[in-house]
């Protein structure tokens, strides 16, 4: 039996092919330092695990979850946004519980657009945004994220036709893959653009807890009028090292929240209640673990950037997320350089072209191994003698 036309149109899963390359190298007995992944390497905080253990032992959690999630988690999400961002959220109408933010990112075009409609996507961007394009049977235009503009889209370069066509926009700050961050002023400009052109905004806030150099990444919902035009997606995967738990939520515009909930009424029966209670414990509990983790990523960033500059690699430090977005040496494509590092240095990175046309010329490095392994990775790359000269050791 053949796959449906829609499934045949789905893009090749970029990360799946990367994992295959890395696993093949490991199977050969090679000691690969995997900097290509986006999988947090540290454990879930103990108090969250304890909450899960207690919830899993309660027979009441063994039943179906309410279709739209447990009230405790919706209230925890609202409390979290009030405490962390001073944003008021109605837990009954402005929160949707989702099994990880990827689900909402892929299903939203189907939920709020009609076939043939157009959305705006960042380029480079998270590859699975394109899955939503296919599943929603919609079109897309891209917004280039350029280093000279701090990896923010320049709305002034959007044509009138592009703004008129667009009915939905995706943004993601701190950004995957560039590590760029947004300002509240940028989000305010986004709200203005959205209102003037009737564009719904989806802000993917997956790395919201990870800002560096004393700067706290703002929430899109902190911009005046943001709830009138859009929603923000928050996942516990990065903030609380709960990637495998698959739990997150959307907050914001009540109409878009209702669209997410309606789609999920037909696709899912929510998430295992035990996971939801654990997520509520994470959001409501002591947040020391979040700051501790942010500091670890910042230290890793500084170590890696200093060493890269020491060997003559012209790199710009990310201002958020746990990724670094690095230019490849002259004469290499992104994929050729990534293959070289894997084959000659046993260092795995993600080729930038896998994130879009404007990702060509870069690689993405995940700061998801110890400082010792990051130092070793740069040491291995140094032996390839790809970079000339040395620069001073600085942290940003």
Q: How far apart are CA 173 and CA 201, in angstroms?
A: 13
Nearest 5°: phi and psi at 386?
-90, -20
Q: How far apart are CA 114 and CA 111, in angstroms?
A: 8
Contact 201, 234 (CB under 8 A): no
Question: Which two structure tokens, joined as six digits, stand for 238?
Answer: 């990065």
> Helices marked H in the chain — which ranges?
5-9, 14-27, 46-57, 71-85, 101-112, 129-135, 160-165, 184-197, 226-229, 236-239, 254-267, 273-284, 288-310, 334-345, 371-382
Residuewise pLDDT in 10s, the chain (396 residues): 999 999 999 998 777 888 899 999 999 999 999 999 899 999 999 999 999 999 999 999 999 999 999 999 999 999 999 999 999 999 999 999 999 999 999 999 999 999 999 999 999 999 999 999 999 999 999 999 999 999 999 999 999 999 999 999 999 999 999 999 999 999 999 999 999 999 999 999 999 999 999 999 999 999 999 999 999 999 999 999 999 999 999 999 999 999 999 999 999 999 999 999 999 999 999 999 999 999 999 999 999 999 999 999 999 999 999 999 999 999 999 999 999 999 999 999 999 999 999 999 999 999 999 999 999 999 999 999 999 754 433 333
Domain extents for the chain? 5-43+288-382, 65-284
Q: What pTM value is reported for the model?
A: 0.96
**CATH 3.90.1150.10 matches 5-43+288-382:** yes
> Residues near 57 by Cβ (< 8 Å), separated by ≥ 6?
none
Contact 271, 247 (CB under 8 A): yes
What proportions of the chain, in percent to the nearest 5, are helix, strand and coil? 50, 15, 40
Alpha carbon 321 to chain centroid, angstroms:
8
Q: Which one, of 232, 215, 264, lies nearest residue 65 by Cα?
A: 264
**Count of CB atoms within 10 A of residue 382's CB?**
17
Question: Which two structure tokens, joined as six digits, stand for 77?
Answer: 């999400």
Nearest 5°: phi and psi at 329?
-65, 155
Contact 203, 172 (CB under 8 A): yes
DSSP 201-234: EEEE-TTTT-B-TTPPPPPGGGSTTHHHHEEEEE
Question: Which two structure tokens, joined as six digits, stand for 153?
Answer: 């889209």
Q: Which residues pair with 323 in a beta bridge?
A: 366
Task: Classify domain 65-284 at the CATH topology level.
Answer: 3.40.640
Q: Which one, of 316, 318, 355, lies nearest residue 173 by Cα?
A: 318
Element (H, E) at 144: strand 139-144
For the chain, what's the residue count? 396
């Amino acid at each position: 039996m053949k796959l449906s036309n829609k499934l045949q149109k789905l893009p090749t899963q970029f990360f799946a092919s990367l994992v295959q390359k890395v696993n093949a190298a490991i199977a050969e007995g090679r000691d690969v330092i995997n900097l290509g992944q986006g999988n947090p390497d540290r454990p879930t905080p103990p108090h969250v695990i304890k909450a899960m253990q207690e919830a899993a032992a309660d027979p009441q959690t063994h039943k179906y979850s309410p279709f739209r999630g447990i009230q405790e988690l919706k209230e925890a999400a609202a409390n979290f946004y009030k405490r962390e961002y001073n944003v008021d959220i109605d837990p009954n109408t402005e929160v949707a519980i989702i099994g990880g933010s990827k689900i909402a990112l892929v299903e939203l075009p189907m939920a709020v657009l009609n076939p043939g409609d157009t959305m705006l996507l960042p380029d480079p961007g998270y590859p699975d945004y394109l899955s939503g394009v296919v599943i929603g049977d919609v079109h897309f235009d891209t917004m280039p994220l350029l280093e000279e503009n701090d990896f923010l889209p320049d709305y002034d370069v959007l044509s009138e036709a592009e703004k008129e066509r667009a009915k939905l926009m995706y943004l993601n700050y701190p950004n995957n893959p560039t590590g760029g961050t947004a300002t509240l002023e940028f989000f305010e400009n986004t709200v203005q653009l959205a209102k003037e052109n009737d564009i719904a905004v989806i802000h993917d806030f997956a790395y919201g807890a990870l800002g560096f150099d004393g700067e706290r990444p703002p929430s899109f919902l902190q911009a005046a009028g943001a709830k009138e035009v859009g929603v923000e997606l928050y996942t516990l995967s990065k903030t609380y090292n709960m990637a495998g738990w698959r739990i997150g939520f959307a907050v914001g515009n009540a109409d878009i929240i209702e669209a997410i909930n309606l789609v999920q009424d037909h696709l899912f029966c929510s998430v295992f209640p035990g996971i939801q209670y654990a997520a509520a414990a994470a959001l409501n509990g002591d947040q020391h673990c979040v700051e501790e983790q942010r500091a670890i990523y910042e230290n890793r960033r500084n170590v890696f950037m200093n060493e890269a500059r020491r060997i003559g690699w012209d790199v710009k430090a990310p201002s958020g997320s746990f990724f670094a977005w690095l230019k490849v040496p002259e004469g290499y494509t992104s994929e050729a350089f990534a293959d070289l590092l894997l084959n000659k240095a046993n260092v795995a990175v993600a080729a930038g072209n896998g994130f879009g046309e404007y990702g060509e010329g870069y690689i993405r490095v995940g700061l998801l191994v110890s400082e010792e392994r990051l130092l070793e990775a740069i040491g291995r790359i140094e032996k390839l003698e790809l970079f000339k000269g040395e620069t001073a050791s600085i942290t940003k």
